[in-house]
Amino acid sequence: MKITLKVWRQKNAQDKGGLKTYQLDDVSPDMSFLEMFDVLNEQLVKKGEEPVHFDHDCREGICGMCSMYINGQPHGPKQTTTCQLHMRSFKDGDTIVVEPWRAQAFPVVKDLVVDRTSFDRIIQAGGYVSVNTGGIPDANEIPIPKKIADEAFDSATCIACGACVAACKNASAMLFVSAKVSQLALLPQGKVERKSRVENMVAQMDAEGFGACTNTGACSAECPKEISLENIARLNREYIKAKSSSDNI
């Protein structure tokens, strides 16, 4: 396959940056998108040019590091992570535009690498779960209905890749925050800090400069883990209860 790449190049956070065009003439359809970038970087290094900087880690669709905006879609045309996107999803002769996440709270570090530590600070603001110390409790000591356990697990599958922010016209982090709030709010172990957790995480989200949610649903549609919009509704309920003087449960 012959592929034309238009890749965002930016030396540092202060640089204006811009798209640069590259041509690849022998791309295998079985390559992953990141493997295709490895080939590009090998060619650039051989020419004495600086390779394209991009985030990656596990390359198994688990960590969410491989954040790229591909042809106007977070992670590309498939609802998956970039590392699990293969070149057979494109056609011979295609032009592919690759950019970093675009959000005030995700400043560009270099090329396609963005600083997503704002997500870490939101998680830190949520604090810990209080549990009694001592002997190891029996796994079934606290009965949890399967429906609740499944919902909590589905929320916990969020990999914090930031695709929801990239997909949102307002750069909102509501889907991410609501998933992290939901996975603990649904379980009995998470109810002790229920009020403080949602208040602190929402306050930190606002402080980081993420936009407001207007319920367009683009976040869930692009999420590689298919996190449900129901989590946003749950977050709103949790927040209203926490702020209500009559119901802080």
DSSP 80-112: S-GGG-BGGGS-TT-EEEEE----TTS-EEETT
Same domain, 96 and 124: no
| Structure confidence at residue 248 (pLDDT) | 46
pLDDT at 128 (0 to 100) = 87
> 85 and 12 in one domain?
yes
Structure confidence by residue, pLDDT tens digits, 191-238: 889 999 999 999 999 999 999 999 999 999 999 999 999 999 999 999
Choose the final residue of a domain: 44, 72, 103: 103
Q: Give Cα 23 distance to the centre of its chain.
A: 29
pLDDT tens by residue, 28-83: 999 999 999 999 999 999 999 999 999 999 999 999 999 999 999 999 999 999 99
**Is residue 249 assigned to a domain?**
no
Q: Distance between CA 36 and CA 101 in Å, rounded?
A: 19
Q: How many CB atoms lie within 10 A of CB 90?
A: 21
Residues 99 and 140 in one domain: no
Over 160-183, what HEC string results?
CCCHHHHHCCCCECHHHHHHHHHH
Same domain, residue pair 90 and 121: no
| 95 and 39 both lie in a single domain | yes
Residue 189 banded pLDDT, cuts 50, 70, 90:
confident
| 234 within a domain of the structure (yes/no) | yes
For residues 128 and 203, state if they share a domain.
yes
- Encode pLDDT of 81-97 as tens digits: 999 999 999 999 999 99
Residue 111 lies in a domain: no
Q: In terms of residue numbers, what domain contains 38? A: 3-103
Assessment of whether the complete model's pTM goes beyond 0.75: yes
Q: Does the residue 248 lie in any domain?
A: no
126 shares a domain with 75 = no
Pair 87, 125 in one domain: no
Question: Where does a domain end: 103, 124, 152?
Answer: 103
Q: What is the pLDDT of residues 113-137, one digit of tens each?
A: 999 999 999 999 999 888 765 666 6
d(CA 131, CA 146): 21
Cβ–Cβ < 8 Å for 201, 180: yes
- Based on the domain organization, do 146 and 31 belong to the same domain? no
Domain count, the chain: 2
